[in-house]
Structures are given as C-alpha cells and as structure tokens.
Structure 1
C-alpha cells in the first residue's frame, strides 16, 4: 500500500526512548488512500515514530463498499521495507513488478519485501464483498538486508495460540512459542488477538521488546486502558506479560519487537539512510528505472511528490 500524501513531508522514522512500560494512547490522522477508502494513520505519529521495526500503521474500515470501487491504489514504488497486508473483511488484489498476482483474503498474510526496489498495486476486485476492513503495516529492513532481492509471499495457514477466551493468530515473527512462516529480518511480533466478551488473560511477551496494540473491533482494556477501534496504545518496553480484558467480543493487533537502533530516513514510500539515497530513488521511479513495471492495473501509475524544501536527515530512536 502507498502513502498517498501528496505533500511528501519527511517523517522521522526512529524510536523515542522508553526504558520501561508506558501507556500512551495515540490518535490517528485521516488520510485518503484511493477510490473510496480513507485510512486512519497511526504510525508515524507526532508522539511515536516506530515500534520495534514497525514504522507505518494504517487502519481502514469497516467500510461499506457494496456500491463503491473500494480500494484502488495505483502502481507505486517501495524501497528498504516490507509491507504487511492484513484483512478482517473483504479482499485485496495484489500485483507487483515481479509478476505476482494474488488475492489476499481475511486472516491471510500478504507479505512483500521491497529490498532494493519493487513496485506494486492494490485494489478491491471488481466483484467484491460488501465490507472492507483491515490494516496495512510496514516493517523497516535493517541495513544488512535492505538491498536484498525483492519478494512476495502469501501464507493462508498461520499458527494460532491461546487459551481462556483468547486466540492469537501469528502474522509475523514469534509469540508464545509459535513462529510465523513469513520471512522476518529483525526480532519482532505481529499477531491478531481475538477475545470473547468477558475474557481476561495475561499474555506472555518478551521483556526486551517494545509493544503497541491497535484496536480493530469491539471494546478491550489493555493493561487497564480502554482501547477503542482505530486507536493505538503504545506500551513501551520491560513487560513479561500483557494484561487483556474484553468488555465485548473484540480483536486487536499486537505489534512489537526489539527497539530498532539504526538511523533512518523515511519519505513517501521509501526507507533509506540518507537524503541522497531518497532523492536517487525518487528519480529512478520518475524515469522508469530500477523499480520495474506492474502489468494489468487499469490506470496510470503514481507520480512521486516533490522532495521537501527542508533537508532530509537520518534520525535514530531518540529525537
């Protein structure tokens, strides 16, 4: 999925220091995505830029698209990151410059590793379900792997763990002894947690990870904090377990990982290490080199926004 913000403002992609547990509830910015889809952008956020290697979080829906085109994101480039497509309702058709053509359905993992360069499009199929609801997530690639060959993975069968009214489907990384089949390049966790009304559970987590919870549906308390759909609760580091209590049937995404220590520049759909690298990637996309071509999308590709007038500087985990 693309960042369609035409202002092209730079985003500082780096973790602010948090040496212990915190409870910071982040509010979203509403952003048009393409077609009839509007997303709630939760990362990067004014108060939080990363959670582990997770550097971008959009939540959308549930939207009634019965008489609408739904999601329509034209071909656009990515560099230095992985995209994670995750649906609760509806479906999304993925095309990319590798020739991949895959419909991603609810609770299936669509994982694209951009590496040095890739381009893709995403759209609701012409014949689509009434509702569209999901999240689009980006993972920053560490320096040792950011020039890897691009790849796309689709995993329909993901491990599930849990007990006592809690079911956790592992999207990426590891949780409670289970591991996702998706390729990860840093130590992290991405899981979809489903809780029955009244369920109370203490989920074991990694003390050295930092975590955040994105509420998808229902009403849930996370470590005593009510979290409603479309909001993100940043939890910091230093936890061995995470208390959860469902006020209603509910679902949340748990995102976490080892604090990402590298200094990054994140602009438009690129994650790099310098202003020169970002400018070169923009030029390569505009001139039709390096990022390949997406075939089959009925429409023009996206042009990159203009680079901002302020210098793009790499930043780390502390502002």
Structure 2
C-alpha cells in the first residue's frame, strides 16, 4: 500500500490556533470519539468456529491416522495434546466414531464465546490507554469541513513525515470500511493453530482500523500508540515545525482567524504553505496565499 505524502487534520478556528501556537496535536482515547462503535466491532471467522467444530474431530483423526499430511509442530498446544490422545486411542483400536463423539465440542455458540473473550481484552482499560491520531488524505471534503472545521470557519492543517526524525505519520494505517465486521481468519485454522501472532495482528488491525461504511467519506488514516502511564484519556504531543506542510483557511473563516494564522506561520513555520479554500459554482478548490503579506 502506497503511503500518502501528506495527511490532513480538520480543526475549528480556536483549536487550529492552539495547535499552531503550541506545535502539539491531540491524541485521544477512543472513549472520547464521536462514533460509539469505535473499537467495538469484534472480527469474525469464515467459515465460523461453530462450522469448523463439526469437522474438527474428523480432521484430527485423519491427521493422527496419516490420511492427511500435516506439520504437527504448527499445532497449538491444546490441539497437539488432543492429537496425541487421538493417536493413543487409535492405537488401542478405539472406533473412530467414539473418538469423534468425545472430541465434539460441548460449547454452545463458540464464536460468541471467542467474541466475549475479545471484548474482555478490548475493554475500557485497553481503550483508556490507547492514544489515537485521526487523519485524512483529503483537504477539500465538504462534509469534513462542515463537521470538523466549524462549518468552513476553521482550518485544515497538512502534515508530512520526516524519516530522519522518525516522525509518527509514517506509522499511520489506512482505515478500512465495511458493513459487516471484518473476517480475520478461518475457523478451522483457529481450532488447529490457536492464537497465533499473525491472527493477533489481524485482530488488532480489525478492531482498531475498521469502521462502518457510513464513515467512509472521511478517508481516514490513523496512528495509534498506548500510554498506560497517563491518567487522562488524551494527551497533546509535540510535532516538529517542519512537519507542518500547509494550512488551508476555510472559505468562511473570519479575517481575525486569517490574520492570527498568518502571524503564527511567519513566526514559527516560515516554510509552511498557506491556502484559502474558495467555493466557485459549488466546487471547492485551494488558492495559495502569502503568509508574509502585510497584516495591516
């Protein structure tokens, strides 16, 4: 996946000025987000664990009897223990039907059982310690201007990554949008291999980087870190002045906002580009303006 050259942050007039004056961006816990479903959509398996459970006993029997060539070292500890038991039972001439019956899961709705465990992991403590920076790749989204930049009165701040400074924007990942919770694996693989590192990574990505399709207009990317040592559910982290690539002033921004932005850019961000959003015939575009021009 190609990483965007620039990311954008929509902000109200007052918030934009605070960010620019302090060179700090707010990273917040998902508990503070306006979407109550954030980090709440647990991923699923397809086929489901319940469906795989019906085939799991025969799969173990086939592995144990050599009908399926299989790398047993890849099995989870619990699956490997079951496999060794099956081998012993087969060696004792135990009927396969009896073995299969003994291996049949008695857990009602195993998928719900797994989801319950995930919800326990991704609980309030996890959400409280997560710090998320939400960004977008679109600087001229009318809905974003309306929702996050005080109805075009605010600004859009553009940021770029600086590799030599190991700045965090390169760590941002694209948010995926779907109507249904994402699929992270095959139910049979889960029963055989357990909680593998790839499955854990896929689960983290599914929970932290997916949203319902209704939010797709945001074209969001997000960077996430965890701060268990912080008491508050948000923190304002410094960014380098050179990371600020541009500021776009909204089409309805007041003259006072524009003058304040120009003053800060002259003093703190002399290399930053300044634009004004212009609406013509219902279409928006950015027009460059000089922030070194007279403020009188």
* TM-score category, normalised to shorter length: under 0.3
TM-score, normalised to structure 1's length? 0.24
| Greater fraction of residues in helix | 2
> Highest Rg: 1 or 2?
2
Higher relative contact order (CA 8 A, sep 6+): 2
TM-score, normalised to structure 2's length? 0.25
